[in-house]
Chains A and B, each alone.
Chain A
Amino acid sequence: METTSIPPQVHYLNADYGIKSWLFTTDHKRIALLYLSSITMMFFVGGAAATLMRLELMTPQGDLMQPETYNKLFTVHGIIMIFFFLVPSIPAVLGNFLVPMMIGARDLAFPRLNLLSWYIFTLAGLFTLAAIIAGGVDTGWTFYTPYSTAFSNSYVILTAVGVFIAGFSSILTGLNFIVTIHTMRAPGLTWFRLPLFIWAHYATSMIILLGTPVLAIAIVLVGLEHAFGIGIFDPALGGDPVLFQHLFWFYSHPAVYIMILPSMGVVSELITCFARKRIFGYSFIAFSSVAIAVLGFFVWGHHMFVSSQSVYAGMIFSFLSMFVAIPSAVKVFNWTATIYKGSVSYASPMLYALGFIGLFTMGGLTGLFLATLAIDVHVHDTYFVVAHFHYIMVGGAVMGYLGGIHFWWPKITGRLYPEGWAKFSALMVFVGFNLTFFPQYVLGYLGMPRRYHMYPPEFQVLNVMSSAGASILAVGYLIPLVYLVWSLRYGALAGSNPWGATGLEWQTASPPPTENFEATPVVTQPAYAYGSFGEDEEVHVG
């Protein structure tokens, strides 16, 4: 793989100047950067909420803020982190940038819809931030009825509108990806030569299209009930609050797979590059992505075991929840087998990928605890659940996101970041993360409920450990902000393929030209054609 060190004269960043060239762009790469700035901002808003929460939880009494304020903080933290950071993060930034490039296309199928989706996302963010500034919402990100519809005095409708609008942004992105992957692959790029990043985004887009509209209608109904007292979720008027939970979790469970699948796609790319080895079990990983997308829709009731759902439904959901763990496990085994006897190097993206594998596995295993009916009855709504999903969302998804940002940073910006600082902050994130969230498993198991601003004094030590870890984690997240921005000006020039990776995106300049490729590439090799391990099937076309 030839690496040229001279940057191209004209590329997508300098092809056009001025604010209008950014705000009216249809270039998927520029839109990816627009998204990058939005979600980075949102990440730190959500992080600020978490910081305040962990400060309150340093002491057993509720002494830092009013209980209602604490309720608003955990609600904000959940809504911002899920809908405005995790769901868009990899798809809208890395997916937007890379999906066309990885398939050898000049852009996504619908470039103007792509820009529209960013505008919709921004509008949604403004609504939600307005709700926060106006006074916040205290229902929890789950908006459970009848509290959200009949009793809460906070800004439920304003926030609900923000989330509703954000859903459209997500749907447009998913729609764009699915159509692009179906219709715009380069000649020779059959389905089973696609990078697993593409398979992951295809599966993610399936979930987005099938699940998000159900959340949309659930939110509409909550808004109408809150405004007009319709009674769909009000027992006094014949309604059932649990109906909301069915509609809500039908989306929100698959939503967690929206958040993790793209990250898994990133990890497949990183592991192969930094083990210099073909992926073990390509078709297993590809099919497991689709299996996760499909099976993820069959298990939503495991969030409702103690919500007066019928016990028979509970048993079926519990049983099916065991199945959905299988494809995830398949991926972990295949990644491990890929690393085995590979030529492994520990560049910073690889550190994030390795962290992902370990932490995701821990989070996934605790998911099995929660899927078990009898255990869930005891740990539901405790910190055990909180620790479980943070291991997956933060230890998994966010680390995959950071690994991906680092890996493709040279391609996106044409610059290399300082590797020493990157390794240091990766390790800081890993240490800080475990110190923050492992104690929460113990706390939950011992019985500390979630969404409480105060707790019995015997839980203080673990809570202080958790808050201390959060401070380390925060620093670990802030440092990349500094050196990545620094690298834009002072970083070494990257060349087209600094990592020596396979993939069409590395065969064009860094930063790429607006049209991505000088000429449409023709694909003749399978994915991950690294080195001499295993046979290279060179299929000659034509």
Chain B
Amino acid sequence: MAEVVPQRIYYRVFAALITLTLLTWGVSYVHFGGYLGIIIALTIAIGKTALVVLYFMHVRYSNRLIWVYIGAGLFWLVLLVGVTMGDYISREWLPVSVGWQRLNVPDYAPHPTAPPVSEEPGRRPATP
């Protein structure tokens, strides 16, 4: 059936995965600017995922159809997250936008040009 992968490869992959986990944890103590922190964390996670997919899940030795399925799944995930985030990010671009997330949350200072927020009648009080 599937290719018999030698056991030592599994052990090596496991060692690499543990190393990357320690790296993830260690890197979290370093304070990067802007988006660099999340990019590094996700890159390491993607690296670990690639190891699991290619070796533990035998995809390295599988036929092209499986690769197409995986590619489709990843593409669709990126589509869902990417396009929706695109909506949220581009909401800020209009000059009159006040940013959807700043209203009704007392911690955040209102946008300087935002109109005053009115009390909405009939709202069921939020549960604590």
> Binding site of A, secondary structure by majority: helix, strand, loop or mixed?
helix
A231 at the interface (CB under 8 A from B): yes
A240 near B101 with CB under 8 A, answer yes
Across the interface, which residues of B come within 8 angstroms of A206, CB to CB? 72
Q: Does B126 contact A (CB under 8 A)?
A: yes
- CB pair A310 B90 closer than 8 Å: yes
Taking a contact as CB atoms under 8 Å apart, the answer to whether B90 and A312 are in contact is yes
Contact partners of A182 in chain B: CB under 8 A: 65
CB–CB B79/A310 < 8 A: no
Q: Is the CB of B94 within 8 A of A310?
A: yes
The reply to whether the CB of A423 lies closer than 8 angstroms to some CB of chain B is no
> When each residue 53-81 of chain B gets 1 if its CB lies under 8 Å from chain A and 0 otherwise, what string results?
00000000000010000001100100110
Please state if B104 and A210 are interface contacts (CB–CB under 8 Å).
Answer: no
Determine whether the beta carbon of A214 is less than 8 Å from that of B126: no
| Chain B residues whose C-beta falls within 8 Å of the C-beta of A243 in the assembled complex | 84
A214 close to B80 (CB less than 8 A)? yes
Q: A236 CA to B73 CA in the complex, in Å?
A: 34
Inter-chain CA distance A277–B76, complex, in Å, is 38
- A337 at interface, CB cutoff 8 A: no
Complex: A236 Cα to B107 Cα, angstroms: 12
Q: Which residues of A contact B72 (CB under 8 A)?
A: 206, 210
A231 and B65 alpha carbons, distance in the complex (Å): 41
Neighbour of A240 across the interface among B73, B100, B124, CB < 8 A: B100
B124–A150 CB distance below 8 A: yes
> Shortest distance in angstroms between A127's beta carbon and chain B's nearest beta carbon?
25
A250 proximal to B (CB < 8 A): yes
Chain A residues, Cβ within 8 Å of B65: 182
> A246-B84, A297-B79 in contact; A310/B104 too (CB < 8 A)?
no
Q: How large is the interface on B (under 10, 10 to 19, 20 to 34, 35 or more residues)?
A: 20 to 34
Residue B123, interface by CB 8 Å: yes
Let me know if A235 and B87 touch, CB within 8 A.
no
Q: Is B91 an interface residue (CB 8 A)?
A: yes
0/1 string, B116-128, CB within 8 A of A gives 1? 0000001110110
In the bound assembly, the distance between CA atoms of A240 and B126 in angstroms comes to 14
B103 within 8 A of A: yes
Once the chains bind, are A229 and B87 in contact (CB under 8 Å)? no
Residues of A within 8 Å of B112, CB to CB, are: none
Instruction: State A298–B122 Cα separation when bound (angstroms).
Output: 37
Picked from A228, A238, A316, the residue with its CB within 8 Å of the CB of B101 is A238
Q: Is the CB of B94 within 8 A of A246?
A: no
Residues of B within 8 A of A309 (CB): 87, 91
Is the pair A151, B103 in contact by a Cβ cutoff of 8 Å?
no
A186 to chain B, nearest CB (A): 19
Q: In the complex, A235 Cα to B104 Cα: how many Å? A: 7
Measuring CB to CB, which residues of chain B are less than 8 angstroms from any residue of chain A?
65, 72-73, 76, 79-80, 83-84, 86-88, 90-91, 93-94, 100-101, 103-105, 122-124, 126-127
23 pairs, A vs B, C-beta closer than 8 Å? A182-B65, A210-B72, A229-B126, A229-B127, A235-B100, A235-B103, A236-B104, A236-B126, A238-B101, A238-B105, A240-B100, A240-B101, A243-B84, A246-B84, A246-B87, A301-B87, A309-B91, A310-B88, A310-B91, A311-B90, A312-B90, A312-B93, A313-B83
